[in-house]
Amino acid sequence: MHITAEHVITFIEQVAATIKAQRDYLTQLDSAIGDADHGVNLDRGFTTVLTKLPGVADKDVGTILKTVGTTLVSTVGGASGPLYGTAFLRAGMAMGDRFELGTADVIAALEAALEGVQSRGKSARGEKTMIDSIGPGIDALKEANAAGEDFISALRKGVDACEAGMRATRPMLATKGRASYLGDRSVGHQDPGATSAFLMAQAMLGVVEQL
């Protein structure tokens, strides 16, 4: 299966639509352990991203992803802008001037995105962040791919693992970001960043299933 630059554009559009639809839910999650702005900030960022897409519609995947990243960094407040912006920037750098992606390319882009988030946020798994959703998702995708499963099947397992990782943040004690200020009171709440990461993974799967 080959994913084209056009498919990447469609993925970004689906992410924007999903974030807009779930904006209030994400903000509600963030109100419990953050600044109550995660959904609002992401929606503003991806709404701006949509205005940039026509200008890169004929560009390579790397350029598209890097444009998304720089836009998020410059328009999204709080921690999510720099983190998601870095994720898309790193993925774009990993993809370079490709116009088509195979399974190995997608995995490499996702791994680069995760490394970017970890580096920018100075965080690791188990600290109640988006990494707790993204990391297990990539692991499951890689494991299924290595076992010879087709890309759609492998990606479904990756998204399932993302969801499980998201839910696993509920009993965690937050040690990063605004949530860490709450101490034990952060326990019992689902991390909004892990949730938005899962929503983006769902959007990716939705596009791939239509190929």
CA dist 15 and 17 (Å) reads: 5
Predicted local distance difference test score (pLDDT) of residue 49: 97
Predicted local distance difference test score (pLDDT) of residue 30: 82
Predicted local distance difference test score (pLDDT) of residue 48: 97
- Mean pLDDT (whole number) for 118-136: 92
99 phi and psi, to 5 degrees?
-105, -10
Q: What is 9-25 written as a DSSP string?
A: HHHHHHHHHHHHHTHHH
- Coil, strand or helix: which one is 1? coil
Predicted local distance difference test score (pLDDT) of residue 71: 97
- Kindly list the distances between the CA atom of residue 129 and the CA atoms of 166, 207, 211, in Å, as whole numbers in the listed order: 9, 25, 31
pLDDT higher than threshold 80 for residue 175: no
CB 203 within 8 A of CB 19: no
CB 109 within 8 A of CB 6: no
pLDDT higher than threshold 90 for residue 6: yes
Q: Percent of the chain at pLDDT above 90?
A: 78
pLDDT tens digits for range 22-76: 999 999 998 876 777 889 999 999 999 999 999 999 999 999 999 999 999 999 8
Predicted local distance difference test score (pLDDT) of residue 179: 55
Which domains are assigned to the chain?
3-209 (1.25.40.340)
- Kindly list the distances between the CA atom of residue 99 and the CA atoms of 13, 21, 65, 91, in Å, as whole numbers in the listed order: 18, 30, 12, 14
- Its pTM surpasses 0.95: no
pLDDT tens digits for range 143-172: 999 999 999 999 999 999 999 999 999 888
Question: Helix/strand/coil (H, E, C) string of 95-131?
Answer: HCCCCEECHHHHHHHHHHHHHHHHHHHCCCCCCCCCH
pLDDT higher than threshold 70 for residue 176: no
- Mean pLDDT (whole number) for 134-151: 97
Predicted local distance difference test score (pLDDT) of residue 33: 65
pLDDT tens digits for range 76-109: 877 788 999 999 999 999 999 999 999 999 999 9
pLDDT tens digits for range 104-116: 999 999 999 999 9
